[in-house]
Amino acid sequence: MLLSPDKSVLLIVDLQAGLLPVIDGGEQAVNEAIWLGGVADALQVPVWVTEQNPKGLGGSEPRLLEALGTHQIWTKCHFDAHQEQEFAQALEATGRRQIVLCGTEAHICVLQTGLGLLAAGYDVYLLAEASVSRRAEEAALAGRRLERAGGCVVSADMVAYEWLKRCDTPTFKHIHREFLRPRAARALSF
């Protein structure tokens, strides 16, 4: 199924300042989340950010929050964000069923959130370049497990161009000029 901006939410899980220094590919994940967050904001796709125990791990990476347009932050204690009742109710209320998911750690909070969303009937799209862990092998395992459970592993370009649908609109021209410039090459680990 193709992604649609009116059915999607970009969910950025736990890209927190206190955790990122020990994450393999953490800088790349932040850059990709910023990039896709800009595209999402331009297309009015809600951008949600979670923070796991921010008192212990610190808040979200400041550069991420500064770069994102409109976004909502959710504090959580469950590894699966969907287990947080307020989060789950608010997500249901959006009526959006396509969740583009990324963050850290891919094999813990990102995976458990993805599995929880799948169990609740959402379509989950794992953003490969921005789903990272302390060890790359664990991030790769998380991607494979989520795929086997019914999720889909995607790239940021896949998401952006599916949201855009066509190249002959003023929206495409604006987003292409602002966001779709060539970016540094990035490795996909899934």
Q: In the predicted model, what is the mean pLDDT of residues 156-160?
A: 94
CA distance 149 to 154: 15
Q: Is the pLDDT of residue 182 over 60?
A: no
CA distance 143 to 169: 34
189 found inside a domain = no
Pairing of the two strands 72-76 and 152-154: unpaired
pLDDT of 36-69, one tens digit each? 999 999 999 999 999 999 998 999 999 999 999 8
> What CATH code is carried by the domain that includes residue 121?
3.40.50.850
Domain with 114 in it? 8-178
Total domains in the fold of the chain: 1
pLDDT-derived band at 96, boundaries 50, 70, 90: very high
Contact between 74 and 48 under an 8 Å Cβ cutoff? The reply is: yes
Q: In the predicted model, what is the mean pLDDT of residues 130-159?
A: 97
Q: According to the model, what pLDDT value does residue 1 have?
A: 87
For the question of whether the overall pTM of this predicted structure is more than 0.85, the answer is: yes
Burial state string for 65-80 with b = 16 or more CB within 10 A and e = fewer than 16: bebbeebeebebebbb
pLDDT of 100-110, one tens digit each? 999 999 999 99
90 found inside a domain = yes
134 found inside a domain = yes
The pair of structure tokens assigned to 95 is: 């009526």
Helix (H) or strand (E) holding 152: strand 152-154
The mean pLDDT of the chain is 93
33 found inside a domain = yes
Q: Is the pLDDT of residue 85 over 80?
A: yes
Helix, strand, coil percentages for the chain (3-state, nearest 5): 45, 20, 35
185 found inside a domain = no
Beta bridge partners of 131: 103
128 found inside a domain = yes
22 found inside a domain = yes
- Give the contacts of 182 (CB within 8 A, at least 6 positions apart): none
190 found inside a domain = no
